[in-house]
Chains A and B, each alone.
Chain A
Amino acid sequence: MIPQDLKYTREHEWVKIEGGEAVIGITDHAQSQLGDITFVELPEVGKEISQSDSFATVESVKAASDVYAPVSGKVISVNEALQEAPEAINRSPYGDGWICRVSLKGKEEADSLMDNSAYEKFLAEAH
């Protein structure tokens, strides 16, 4: 089930808009493609990230993958639990596997992203 209250990118990140803030993670499709996640490089708190730029890295047993910012903003907190237990992303990609929270530059960027039915369609077309 693809959560209805999130927006999605073509690179399989999700973003949850909460007022002037946003929480970011990778989708269930992404974690399943990656396999067992073994390491996460979290962004530094305070870092400015720009939409579509790589801001974090997720590594699985055999490969490393960039995570791209769905929206621009400033990192205000990161999910430290992922340092010791990166498998949380596999287990709960939309919940405990959240990567970071940012304060938003503006809300318009999120409007250009896919909603859950568009993302579902996008996944179906790609396979």
Chain B
Amino acid sequence: MGRAKRPPQVLYGSVFMATSESKSSVIVPGEASTGCWSCGTMRATHFCSACGKVQPAVPVDYFTFFGFPRKLELDTAALEKEFYALSRRLHPDAFAQADPTERAWSLEQSSMLNDAYRTLKDPIKRTEYLLRLEGVELGEQSKQATEKARATGELKKQVVPADLLEEVFELNMHLEELRAQKKAGEDDPALLEEIGEAKLTLEEKYDALFNELKHEWKKWDAAVDSGTEEDRRALLARMLDVLNRRNYIRNLVRDVNEAMEN
């Protein structure tokens, strides 16, 4: 932890980040056009292609960081390979004996590398990241909002996906019944079986939604190359809808599990 006297030791970070306006909650793409600070040659984003020295971090989005287009069907094997290759060059271990400035840059660069890799390798995180990058608010259905509401016990606005209305209604009735029975110390195997079946159906839907999402990826990737702005907006909205429905089901399954365990 930082200290009383010399706290923001790693103001390194913001000290060396470009101080100009990056206002969005996701880093806005910047330009890396200046030469290497050490040898002056033109350089790649992370380290100089000529002399190999690490460069100050430039605020870019995670796709750009890896040199990928903003597409969602991502070759994760290639991503991993690139992650390992960049790790070897940027990790603070390689700069343990370097001067403090280079050490600070390496810390900055490798934390960004790790953050970017963690986000892009996970299909859901990658999709959510792209949505935010494109200015879409994930809102109420996001995992974060849900968890916060659960912890505080606040009621959260739940938008029940239309195709689930009937099932959810029935399931909630059953769950109420189950809780009441448990309180009374009763046991109704038939009810448990019914809830179990409903849960299975939900889990199938959950998996199907992932396939639906992947389907949207394909369309998105094509639209990046040749679609209109309108196409892309529509696709973003569809992906958000799939994610919301998927989150809704995940929360529901969790409620079922909790009701059955308690």
Q: Do the two chains bind?
A: no
Chain B contacts to A: CB under 8 angstroms = none
